[in-house]
Structure 1
Amino acid sequence: MDLNVLIGGKAGAGIKEAGRMLAGVLANLGYHVFGYVDYPSLIRGGHNFVVLRFSERKVRSTDRRADVIVATDRRSVEAHLKDEKEGTLWIVDERIDKEGALKAPFKEVAPGFFKSSSVLGVLLKVLGIPVEEGLPFIEQLPQREKNLSIYREAYSSVPAKFEVERIGEISGAVVTGNECVALGAVDGGLEFYVAYPMTPASPVLHYLAAKQDELGVKVVHPENEIAVVSMAVGIAYAGRRVMVGTSGGGFALMTETLSLMGMSETPVVLYEAQRAGPSTGVPTYTAQSDLLFVLFAGHGDFPRVVLAPGYPEEAYELTR
């Protein structure tokens, strides 16, 4: 079995959370899962979507066309007509009219918030996965009892269309590329992580800050990117293993100090999570446009080691 599931809806409606929970359920059933999250740089409003591909074999990309499309609002229908193929199963909100689509009650836990529990319930039933498989994830959500009620109601509201069966034990943890970078650094002996928030590198800062006591890493959040890299040079000069995280605009501010590292032969790992566009660019989208810049950043001639991972496992391995 090799299926692509697309979930679309408003930003702030729990679309990403629904995708995260579905990925966890599928991994628990023994499947390999690859996901892509698309969202605008808005806290509320706008359209976002998640694509999950799961298979019995390793997958490292999603398909351009979806086998199942979940549209929790009308805009999702319009936005993802281009993603359907022959035989695509559409699941739409019960208030939306779309010929041939399966209608479902995508209820909110609170007005305008969190349809994730109903989306998960509908999808698990459609995929033919027992309702019990989703309970460990729903029980971790806020307003547990309300979410459980909505989840069970949604599960019972639609028929099964697929037969997704357990194929083995847990295939592995569901982790993001940023988490792979963080864990690889920790396993490589990281002692200090210094960063100023800048997407798409910020999740490394959040992850390590939340787990610094457990992982034995000191996380420092200075006032700006120049302070970040200057502090990192001092830490490395003192003989400690340190990593810095930023994106293109932040890395641009660090290049003078990068040359100082070259002159003083002070080893620092810099994680440059690339975003699209020049200057502030497009904060919530990733790209590969900084690679040439990174290769030749800094003034003067000194050696640099530049590693560019192509998939999450490689992000872990190369960072370690």
Structure 2
Amino acid sequence: MDFTILVGGAAGQGMDTFANILEKVLKRNGFHIFRHGDYMSRVRGGHNFLQVRFSDKPISTYRQKSDIIFALNEETVDLHENDLNENGIIILDEEISKEKNLIHLPLNKTAKGLGNVRVSSTIGLGFILKYFGLPKDEAIKIIKEEFNEKISEVNLRALDEGYDLTDTKYKLETKEDKSILINGNNAVALGAIAAGCKYYCGYPMTPSTGVLNYMSLKSEEMGIVIDQVEDEVAALNMALGASYAGVRAMTGSSGGGIALMAEAFSLAGIIETPVVVINVQRPGPATGLPTRTEQADLRFMIHLGHGEFPKMVISLRNGEDAFYQTARAFNLAEKYQIPVILLSDQELSESTVTYSPFDFEKISINRYISGEEAIVEGERYKRYKFTEDGVSPRIIPGKIENQVVLVDSDEHDEYGNITESAEVRTKMVDKRARKFESLKKEVQEPWLIGEEEPEHLIVAWGSLYGAVKEAVEALNLEGVSIGALVFGDIWPFPTEKLGKMYKNVKNLIAVEQNSTAQLDSLIREELLIKCNHKILKYDGRAFSGEEIYSRLKEEVL
């Protein structure tokens, strides 16, 4: 059982509210959910749509065809009627597309009769629940949870009206709800909270703002200081200040905002202060497509900041991965006293998906803070002490009497005092570089999908995991010998698994959402391996599993 419901219309017509209630109802009835959105960068007007896919089996991407299209305007019919499954239906108000043989419902007329034209979408919700043979119980509970008493009452009447407008076509079997429903941004924020993050700052920038919003929502309950700052230049500098003072700190933005942070990244490198930064990618350059998705910042993140200093880059593959990797990022940042960059994108950040509940017991908080043992009796504290692995003892300012923690953006000696000594400069560069050698031992190999010794091997990264997974599994069912490696850790780059597998493959295929195959170029650089096929997409829309499946069939197999 696998269905997709699409609701489309103009911004401001209540699609989000409809989809929010629908996905919660389906989730509470025990179904697996994947919600995908497509919206324009405007407050009113334009064409937007949301798809809620639900199944009795785990799902990891959206479907291109829909079983029900709930059209809030005529444009939705025109744009999506060809994307309807063979037995699918289009429901809409009786005043829209009158000349077409669709299921016209008295949505607006009934809503006006109820005294609130805004409840027309709730009438549609009632119709859909009855169509699939689902009870109203959970919808009633959710409406009461979401709205005040007055608004709930009219919406409940609207739900009843819609429920009476149709007969049941499918009698779906409900199950016990054992999942959580969360999007990528909220999963990142939850991972940061679990890791003990106590300071988050940022400037709102789509599609990263959801992290700031969720952290703010939980700030009082969890004792987190939140700053909405004046710009992204301030954001990273303030996060570094909080980290210097001794708390776990994080900031985030999208491409343009991350670009403004570039100088402060170098500051993090030279003062060796840990910080976690989330880049939720969107298409550039410049403003680009603010509400769309892309994977074009991989190279940018690896080389972010002037000068040479170690950093780590981790791409997030789904919401569950986002939770655990965000927590891991804080430990790595503090262990090696480096900036750790998390790479997400619009599709992952805003798609709502069901997962098994996250296990907070798996999260460990390792601060790597030194105490008085870092001080040699009779000596000043050496913040940048030369060590074998390049990691110097880190103490918190004000915690040890008569000891000062010096930091400066100029090159410095072991104490943190400014120097222009050629010898000290060379030793400091080498000291920082040694941390990267240790960091290489921390990298995690990519996730394997499909066959372990395939004839055809896909390489992908980040949020493409879900779409690649469904494409590979469909081809495996057809007897195609194919597998995929989907990378999470990007820098340092993990080479072991790919280095072993590629030797026996006929086709090495890069699947990426950028125009230059950036992962492919990194593989060539690190392993001297070149992909002989590239399946790329960079129109701002996310790959679906079906699209990857079709392009593999057309271009490779």
If the length of structure 1 is used for normalisation, what is the TM-score? 0.94
Trace 1:133-212 onto structure 2 (pairs within 5 A). 133-139=138-144, 140-142=146-148, 143-167=151-175, 169-212=176-219
Shift of 1:87: 1.8
Does the alignment pair 1:117 with 2:125?
Answer: no
What is the CA–CA distance in structure 2 between the aligned matches of 1:182 and 1:218, rounded to whole Å? 13
Shift of 1:112: 7.1
Shift of 1:101: 2.5
CA 1:10 to 1:158, structure 2 compared with 1: closer, same or farther past 3 Å?
farther
Match of 1:49 in 2: 49
CA 1:159 to 1:218, structure 2 compared with 1: closer, same or farther past 3 Å?
same
What is the CA–CA distance in structure 1 between the aligned matches of 2:169 and 2:189, rounded to whole Å? 39
Secondary structure of residue in 2 paired with 1:76: helix
2:255–2:284 Cα contact (<8 Å) kept? no
Trace 1:150-299 onto structure 2 (pairs within 5 A). 150-167=158-175, 169-299=176-306
TM-superposition CA deviations, 1:249-299 (whole Å, max 9, x none): 100000000011111111110011111221122222222112221121111
1:51–1:62 Cα contact (<8 Å) kept? yes
What is the CA–CA distance in structure 2 between the aligned matches of 1:233 and 1:54, rounded to whole Å? 42
CA 1:45 to 1:244, structure 2 compared with 1: closer, same or farther past 3 Å?
same
1:16–1:49 Cα contact (<8 Å) kept? no
AA partner of residue 141 (structure 1): F
What is the CA–CA distance in structure 2 between the aligned matches of 1:302 and 1:98, rounded to whole Å? 65
Q: Which runs of 5+ in 1 are unaligned?
A: none
TM-superposition CA deviations, 1:217-274 (whole Å, max 9, x none): 2111111111111101111111210110101110000000001111111111001111
Secondary structure of residue in 1 paired with 2:59: coil
What is the CA–CA distance in structure 2 between the aligned matches of 1:199 and 1:306, rounded to whole Å? 21
Match of 1:105 in 2: 106
What is the CA–CA distance in structure 2 between the aligned matches of 1:295 and 1:280, rounded to whole Å? 21
1:200–1:284 Cα contact (<8 Å) kept? yes
CA 1:39 to 1:112, structure 2 compared with 1: closer, same or farther past 3 Å?
farther
CA 1:223 to 1:249, structure 2 compared with 1: closer, same or farther past 3 Å?
same
Query: How many residues are treated as equivalent by the alignment?
Result: 319
2:199–2:250 Cα contact (<8 Å) kept? yes
Shift of 1:113: 4.4
AA partner of residue 165 (structure 2): S
Secondary structure of residue in 1 paired with 2:75: helix
CA 1:235 to 1:141, structure 2 compared with 1: closer, same or farther past 3 Å?
same
CA 1:216 to 1:50, structure 2 compared with 1: closer, same or farther past 3 Å?
same
AA partner of residue 236 (structure 1): S
What is the CA–CA distance in structure 2 between the aligned matches of 1:214 and 1:32, rounded to whole Å? 30
1:200–1:283 Cα contact (<8 Å) kept? yes
Shift of 1:106: 3.0
What is the CA–CA distance in structure 2 between the aligned matches of 1:302 and 1:200, rounded to whole Å? 28
CA 1:112 to 1:153, structure 2 compared with 1: closer, same or farther past 3 Å?
closer
Shift of 1:178: 0.7
1:14–1:114 Cα contact (<8 Å) kept? no
2:120–2:158 Cα contact (<8 Å) kept? no
Trace 1:64-83 onto structure 2 (pairs within 5 A). 64-83=64-83
Secondary structure of residue in 1 paired with 2:252: strand
After the TM superposition, which of the residue ranges 131-140 and 99-108 deviates more from structure 2? Answer: 99-108
Match of 2:24 in 1: 24
2:13–2:72 Cα contact (<8 Å) kept? no
After the TM superposition, which of the residue ranges 86-95 and 298-307 deviates more from structure 2? Answer: 86-95
Match of 2:387 in 1: none
CA 1:61 to 1:212, structure 2 compared with 1: closer, same or farther past 3 Å?
same
What is the CA–CA distance in structure 2 between the aligned matches of 1:136 and 1:286, rounded to whole Å? 34
Match of 1:314 in 2: 321
Report percent identity of matched pairs.
Answer: 39
What is the CA–CA distance in structure 2 between the aligned matches of 1:317 and 1:171, rounded to whole Å? 19
What is the CA–CA distance in structure 2 between the aligned matches of 1:225 and 1:26, rounded to whole Å? 39
Shift of 1:71: 1.0
Match of 2:137 in 1: 132
Give the aligned CA root-mean-square deviation in angstroms: 1.8
Does the alignment pair 1:93 with 2:93?
Answer: yes
CA 1:145 to 1:111, structure 2 compared with 1: closer, same or farther past 3 Å?
closer
2:119–2:155 Cα contact (<8 Å) kept? no
Q: Which has the larger radius of gyration?
A: 2
TM-superposition CA deviations, 1:170-210 (whole Å, max 9, x none): 13222111111110111111111111111101111112112
What is the CA–CA distance in structure 2 between the aligned matches of 1:269 and 1:210, rounded to whole Å? 20
1:229–1:244 Cα contact (<8 Å) kept? yes
User: Which gives a bigger RCO, structure 1 or 2 (Cα 8 Å, sep 6+)?
Assistant: 1
Q: Which runs of 5+ in 2 are unaligned?
A: 328-557
TM-superposition CA deviations, 1:103-157 (whole Å, max 9, x none): 2233458877464422321211111111222111222225222222222112211
After the TM superposition, which of the residue ranges 66-75 and 142-151 deviates more from structure 2? Answer: 142-151
CA 1:9 to 1:141, structure 2 compared with 1: closer, same or farther past 3 Å?
farther
TM-superposition CA deviations, 1:48-90 (whole Å, max 9, x none): 1111111111111011111221112111101112322322222
CA 1:146 to 1:112, structure 2 compared with 1: closer, same or farther past 3 Å?
closer
What is the CA–CA distance in structure 2 between the aligned matches of 1:41 and 1:20, rounded to whole Å? 20
1:15–1:49 Cα contact (<8 Å) kept? yes
